[in-house]
Amino acid sequence: MSIENTIVRFTSKNFPTWKFQFKIFLKGKELSNHMNSSVRVPTDDKEFAQWEVKDTKVISWLWGTIEPHLGTNLRCFTTAQAMWDYLHRIYHQDHSARKF
């Protein structure tokens, strides 16, 4: 089953649904740590090479689940975490002001 059949395509208006599904998908692939800012990029060459392959998979899955025009601003980022942080910063809506 392809990722496109598993996760809704991100359109800028459905961030909560897409985010939830994408995080579940990554957990199933044991790669959710690539979206955790507390995890450091390895400095050892061998560990970094292994980490980079995994991070590139996550990046390709990000690209594969967003509308193409939304990817324009992601080109400057080199890690999945940086892309994730950008998308969250731009599209996450904080509704805490509505809570009583």
pLDDT, residue 5, reads 65
- Give the other-Cβ count within 10 Å of 15's Cβ: 16
The yes-or-no verdict on residue 19 having pLDDT over 70 is yes
With cut-offs at 50, 70 and 90, classify the pLDDT of residue 98. very low
- Could you tell me the two tokens for 83? 């892309």
With cut-offs at 50, 70 and 90, classify the pLDDT of residue 81. very high
The yes-or-no verdict on residue 63 having pLDDT over 70 is yes
pLDDT, residue 93, reads 79
Average pLDDT, the chain: 89
Query: 7 to each of 33, 38, 45, how far by Cα in Å?
Result: 19, 25, 33
Rounded to an integer, the average pLDDT of 72-80 is: 95
Nearest residue to 19 (alpha-carbon basis) of 98, 94, 99, 92 = 92
Rounded CA-CA distance 95/51 in Å is: 35
- Could you tell me the two tokens for 67? 């509308």
